């Protein structure tokens, strides 16, 4: 069975795409900054997203919007800790913590996190060792802002090579393939055209036996494709992009609008399963 090992949870990837609900505990995220900055609001929203069908909750204490200024690890942890601890025993789905700091990853895992989602793609040499013994899932994102790559080389080639290198590094240290989920990093150091190519060509960059996440929710590529509506009005465009990514083989979808994302993923799976000759799902 195809699946993603997320700490004590094993997520089957043979059905509709798993929806990862976004929980930004920040004052400045690009589309929902400040909405869940108070811990009590964040906890309530996490429980609401679970009720709406989210298969994972992703807590982020640091905005990574274009042009962001990084906050130090201690400040990031001070935002995440009260929410993570308040959710202990209240969720029946994995909790992911979005961080690129090894010390925050270690603290989060000790406090019950099941997944570490690193937008810098575990490029910090301390990240893989920080998660090694935990059994947590590892979401490894390609981030063009932090990698030294040839911008003239095809984006699909660059992303796939990065994934292959990271899988090798993880396995060499003792992290099993089923603990790895790859994210092509839509919106992170890519042009508009490169973002579209990644959404359209999931099958070209997927690594066999590893989970694959698409995270295009409300991002600039969605807005630019449909007249640049405000971020909060980009849900229909997000559903279109994520559905196409699911058709290409994406098994997890990171979304702000969970109820709608769950329904779209279920319908997409039903339709794709009826396709003559089968699909690449699972």
Active site residues: 219, 254
- In three-state form (DSSP H/G/I as H, E/B as E, the rest C), the secondary structure along the chain is CCEEEECCEEEECCCCCEEEEEEECCCCCCCCCCCCCCHHHHHHHHHHHHHCCCCEEEEECCCCCCCCCCCCHHHHHHHHHHHHHHHCCCCCCCEEEECCCHHHHHHHHHCCCCEEEECCCCCCCCHHHHHHHHCCEEEEECCCCCCCCCCCCCHHHHHHHHHHHHHHHHHHHCCCHHHEEEECCCCCCCCHHHHHHHHHCHHHHCCCCCEEEECCCCCHHHHHHCCCCCHHHCHHHHHHHHHHHHHHCCCEEEECCHHHHHHHHHHHHHHHHCCCCCCCCC
């Amino acid at each position: 069975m195809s699946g993603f090992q997320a700490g004590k949870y094993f997520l089957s990837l043979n059905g509709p795409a798993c929806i990862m609900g976004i929980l930004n505990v920040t004052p400045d995220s690009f589309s929902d900054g400040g909405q869940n900055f108070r811990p009590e609001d964040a906890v309530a929203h996490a429980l609401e997203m679970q009720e709406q069908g989210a298969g994972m909750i992703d807590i982020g204490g640091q905005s990574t919007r274009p042009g962001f200024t990084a906050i130090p690890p201690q400040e990031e942890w001070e935002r995440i800790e009260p929410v993570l601890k308040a959710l202990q025993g209240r969720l029946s789905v994995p909790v992911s913590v979005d961080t690129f700091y090894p010390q925050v990853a270690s603290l989060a895992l000790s406090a019950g996190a099941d997944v570490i989602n690193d937008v810098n793609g575990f490029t910090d040499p301390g990240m893989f060792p920080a998660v090694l013994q935990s059994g947590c899932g590892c979401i490894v994102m390609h981030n063009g802002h932090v990698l030294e790559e040839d911008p003239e080389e095809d984006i699909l080639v660059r992303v796939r090579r990065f994934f292959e290198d990271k899988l090798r590094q993880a396995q060499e240290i003792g992290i099993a393939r089923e603990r790895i989920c790859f994210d092509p990093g839509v919106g992170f150091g890519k042009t508009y055209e490169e973002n579209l190519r990644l959404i359209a060509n999931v099958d070209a960059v997927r690594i066999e036996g590893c989970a694959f996440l698409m995270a295009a929710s409300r991002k600039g590529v969605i807005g630019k494709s449909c007249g640049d509506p405000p971020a909060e009005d980009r849900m229909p465009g997000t559903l279109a992009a994520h559905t196409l990514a699911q058709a290409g083989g994406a098994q997890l979808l990171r979304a702000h609008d969970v109820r709608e994302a769950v329904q779209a993923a279920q319908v997409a799976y039903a339709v794709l399963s009826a396709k003559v000759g089968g699909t690449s799902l699972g």
